[in-house]
Structure 1
Amino acid sequence: MNPRLAGIDPRLYLITDSAQCGEAGRSVAETVREAVAGGVGIVQVRDKDIDDDAFYALTREVITAVDSAVVDSATAGTQRRVLIVLNDRVAVAQRLLAEGADVHIHVGQSDTPVEQVRERIGPEPLIGLSAADDAEFAAARDSSAVDLVGIGPVYDTTTKTDAPDGIGPDRLGDLVAEARLPAVAIGGITTARAAELRGRGLIGICVVSAICRAEDPRSAAQDLLAEFGDGRAEGAQ
């Protein structure tokens, strides 16, 4: 694994959805705190419908929630580092980094180019990139700026209305091998499907609805981790 990911358990990666959390009767921060307590190791803050000031405030709430869950884990004897990743919002990341926050960035192919992101946020934060084919993987490797790639959608998903059809677990495994970068899978992943993604070369799985809409985010996270296992082990093929 990339040494820059040292100390992180990337197996379960939560992407927040403010609307889904609200529909479940919780704030994003409340959802994040319970999910991290259940084992989530990476939290991506995502909300396309609010301005930068509101996004900054949301991220600050998430940072507090993660810190609270990590402190509770440390009290129980488990030392953890949980990554907080901002979806695109480079200006917000710069503001938080200037304040001493430990935040990172994920961008899509149509967002700020990764080379520009690296110039703006400096050498330390991790950068994730959504990528789906050999040309995009090659560009990610050539940039020397990308630390991990998100590949999907694995299954059909309703979280993003413009998402293409799911590629399926077998094609996912092929793409992970082509990427030659640490990779996480995203798109339509549920507890029932998590075991199908074992043995595909992934470092982790990304979920939105499986936790944001869950009745109990802590239990949902625990169940997802139990099904995905260590991720690299052989599973359902």
Structure 2
Amino acid sequence: MQNAPHTKLPVRDVSAIIARMKDQVDYTLYLVTDSTEAILGSRDLVEVVEQALLGGVTVVQYRDKTSDTGALIATAKALHEKCKKHNIPLLINDRVDVALAVGCEGVHLGQDDMNLTEARKLLGRDKIIGATVSSIEEARVAVERGADYLGIGTLYATSTKKNTKDIIGVNGIRRILRYLHTSDDEAARKMKTVCIGGVNALNVQRVTYQLHAPSDHSSPPKSIDGVAVVSAIVGAKDVEQAAANLKTLLCTPPTFIHFSPSTNNNEDWTSLSHLHTTSLALTKAVDSASPLSHNMTNLVVQNFAASVALAIGASPIMSNNGAEAADLARLNGALVINMGTATPDALKNHALAIAAYNAAGRPVVLDPVGAGATSARKEALSFLLASGYFSVIKGNEREILAVAQASGLAVASSEHAAQQQQRGVDSGPASYTLPQRAHMVQRLARRERTVVLMTGATDLLSDGTRTYALSNGHAYLGMVTGSGCTLGTTISAYLAAAPGDPFMAAAAAVLHFEIAAEDAGRSEGVRGPGTFVPGFVDALYARRKAIVEGHLEEGAERLKVEVLREVKDVGILREA
């Protein structure tokens, strides 16, 4: 029988097949090896990689900057055999010659390695070539030269990457993703990406969640396709378990996210009657649960905050010791991080506590007190934002603007930028109109995928989709030290009692707090700020008891709330 004649495919068909094959590569859990004694120890690298493959890594990059060529080829061949058994691509860091000798699936090139164009000529179209980038310009060049994926970083400083000039953080990666997403070049829009630098089991869900940050309302953002991990797998005692745990975390929703506003299609939130009914139900929930409110705050307000927590029915603990946080996080409460005392030791303890509460899936409130006042406080704020996820971020106008800037947004008006300089913890008069402030909180809430509360004579609350302007309250609140801090305590109790919808929980907390302030301000014994404090604590308690016991004599008419169905982009905040 005569063999059928060989039919040569057209070049365009071959290119399409190669493109499809490359598109099918799963970058979810990308392992970068490390052969140094500090990370690998005395273990055999090939055995370690095999355990990682069993745990679920989806790409392996062999990285070894010190061994000679013969040893590199021998190890790469052994690694390739293991990878082929699991149908996982093996890439070689830097060394195109080693990749050619081994016949593996491709290479990964850094900025100081071989030019990507030359590497493509040597390797051919069917091999995978990745490129390390840390700026928009480097990303543009890599796309132009035909990279198949980008390794974007460095995210955080690590034992293998200590050069701080390469640390671009979440904001730097967001900028590159946004550039790719909005590019006119189709190759850029379709480009696969992984982030690298300090990713581990404690932060992997937060990193991937925060990198999926919308930059506007027009379309879903371009998200990261995977994370590159080194020591969190190679340096683990149980490599297979470490890889399996990371894979599970990457494939499941974050433990700290209880609600997604994008999936909330009902319009109940626009009804003040519904808001009133919900807020009363949540007050009863706090009373019933008596949730833990763990406050990491300054000594000035600890007593006041504890009194407020008790008055609303919560159980306060004032502990600035981060070592206690893991145990406290298991008690179904919530954490308040207050930047009133932003010392290096305090920040270390804050980071420990944030990680513990995030890991336990419990709410965390950030109160960035005085965040815009000094360069040290701005650095402290950036450190905290990089340390974990916050369910609610609460602050006055200047503090929220400082958070927006730390998040990678810029104030469009130089005149307003000058006005926003903060001197102390007092809020000061508003520099922006209500529509401008509404835009700020909505934009920042979308950016950080959280709930943002900007306090003032009228509070603005948003989860990026739903936005309220709340005008209850009393002028005495602005004349009392720690009133803003105690609002954070109140919010934490409501979040802990009803974590399913942080936006509505925060709204209910604000209403309890500020309507009680109105009651206290007009009570007979209150003559000024000094007599207001005890009267306020009494009013918080009295309001709770009236709601719980069912004899509250008021309805939705008491709520001074404006529902902002449409918040216009007035151009105050833009991408930095």
Calculate the TM-score normalised by the size of structure 1. Answer: 0.84
Which deviates more from structure 2 when the two are superposed, residues 158-167 or residues 8-17? 158-167
Of 83, 88, 108, the match for 2:89? 83
Tell me what 2:206 maps to: 196
1:87-106 residue CA offsets vs partner (Å, 9 max, x unmatched): 01111112223xxxx32110
Of 187, 192, 198, the match for 1:182? 192
C-alpha contact (below 8 Å) 2:108/2:131 kept by paired residues = yes
Counterpart secondary structure, 1:123:
coil
Question: Gapped runs of 5+ residues in structure 2?
Answer: 1-18, 181-187, 212-222, 258-388, 390-447, 449-576
Of 226, 236, 240, the match for 1:214? 236
- CA-CA distance at 1:155 after TM superposition: 1.0
**Number of equivalences:** 217
Tell me what 2:437 maps to: none
- How many angstroms apart in 2 are the aligned matches of 1:44 and 1:120? 19
Of 243, 246, 250, the match for 1:228? 250
Counterpart secondary structure, 2:107:
strand
Distance 1:6 1:182, change over 3 A: closer
Counterpart secondary structure, 1:171:
helix
One-letter amino acid matched to 1:115:
T
Tell me what 1:26 maps to: 43
Counterpart secondary structure, 1:226:
helix
Tell me what 1:173 maps to: 174
- How many angstroms apart in 1 are the aligned matches of 2:137 and 2:50? 37
Tell me what 1:154 maps to: 155
Of 42, 60, 68, the match for 2:77? 60
- CA-CA distance at 1:197 after TM superposition: 2.1
Distance 1:153 1:174, change over 3 A: same
Tell me what 2:59 maps to: 42
C-alpha contact (below 8 Å) 1:157/1:166 kept by paired residues = no
Larger Rg: 2
- CA-CA distance at 1:66 after TM superposition: 2.2
Tell me what 2:100 maps to: 94
One-letter amino acid matched to 1:34:
Q
C-alpha contact (below 8 Å) 1:42/1:84 kept by paired residues = yes
Counterpart secondary structure, 1:146:
coil
- How many angstroms apart in 1 are the aligned matches of 2:227 and 2:151? 9
1:2-26 residue CA offsets vs partner (Å, 9 max, x unmatched): 7343443210000111125541x42
Tell me what 1:105 maps to: 107
- How many angstroms apart in 1 are the aligned matches of 2:140 and 2:169? 22
C-alpha contact (below 8 Å) 2:134/2:168 kept by paired residues = no
- CA-CA distance at 1:230 after TM superposition: 6.8
- How many angstroms apart in 1 are the aligned matches of 2:24 and 2:193? 17
- How many angstroms apart in 1 are the aligned matches of 2:178 and 2:89? 24
1:50-97 residue CA offsets vs partner (Å, 9 max, x unmatched): 1111100110111122234x2xxxxxxxxxx31100001111112223
- How many angstroms apart in 2 are the aligned matches of 1:154 and 1:11? 16
- CA-CA distance at 1:203 after TM superposition: 0.7
Work out whether 1:17 is the aligned partner of 2:54: no
- How many angstroms apart in 2 are the aligned matches of 1:168 and 1:88? 24
Distance 1:163 1:208, change over 3 A: farther
Which deviates more from structure 2 when the two are superposed, residues 162-171 or residues 186-195? 162-171
One-letter amino acid matched to 1:126:
I
One-letter amino acid matched to 2:161:
K
- CA-CA distance at 1:174 after TM superposition: 2.4
Which deviates more from structure 2 when the two are superposed, residues 132-141 or residues 122-131? 132-141
- CA-CA distance at 1:107 after TM superposition: 0.3
- How many angstroms apart in 2 are the aligned matches of 1:117 and 1:196? 35
1:133-154 residue CA offsets vs partner (Å, 9 max, x unmatched): 12111111221x2000011111
- How many angstroms apart in 1 are the aligned matches of 2:141 and 2:148? 13
- CA-CA distance at 1:109 after TM superposition: 1.0
C-alpha contact (below 8 Å) 1:155/1:165 kept by paired residues = no
Tell me what 1:118 maps to: 120
Tell me what 1:76 maps to: none
Distance 1:213 1:12, change over 3 A: same
Tell me what 1:75 maps to: none
- How many angstroms apart in 2 are the aligned matches of 1:191 and 1:133? 26
- CA-CA distance at 1:127 after TM superposition: 0.4
One-letter amino acid matched to 2:235:
R
C-alpha contact (below 8 Å) 2:92/2:107 kept by paired residues = yes
Distance 1:170 1:230, change over 3 A: farther
C-alpha contact (below 8 Å) 1:157/1:163 kept by paired residues = no
C-alpha contact (below 8 Å) 2:136/2:175 kept by paired residues = no
Of 182, 186, 205, the match for 2:227? 205
Root-mean-square deviation (CA, aligned residues, Å) is 2.2
C-alpha contact (below 8 Å) 2:153/2:166 kept by paired residues = no
Distance 1:198 1:22, change over 3 A: closer
C-alpha contact (below 8 Å) 1:85/1:105 kept by paired residues = yes
C-alpha contact (below 8 Å) 1:52/1:89 kept by paired residues = no
C-alpha contact (below 8 Å) 1:16/1:46 kept by paired residues = yes
Q: Percent identity?
A: 30
Which deviates more from structure 2 when the two are superposed, residues 81-90 or residues 222-231? 222-231
C-alpha contact (below 8 Å) 1:154/1:167 kept by paired residues = yes
Q: Give the structure with the higher percent helix.
A: 2
One-letter amino acid matched to 2:244:
Q
C-alpha contact (below 8 Å) 1:132/1:152 kept by paired residues = yes
- CA-CA distance at 1:164 after TM superposition: 3.5
Work out whether 1:133 is the aligned partner of 2:138: no
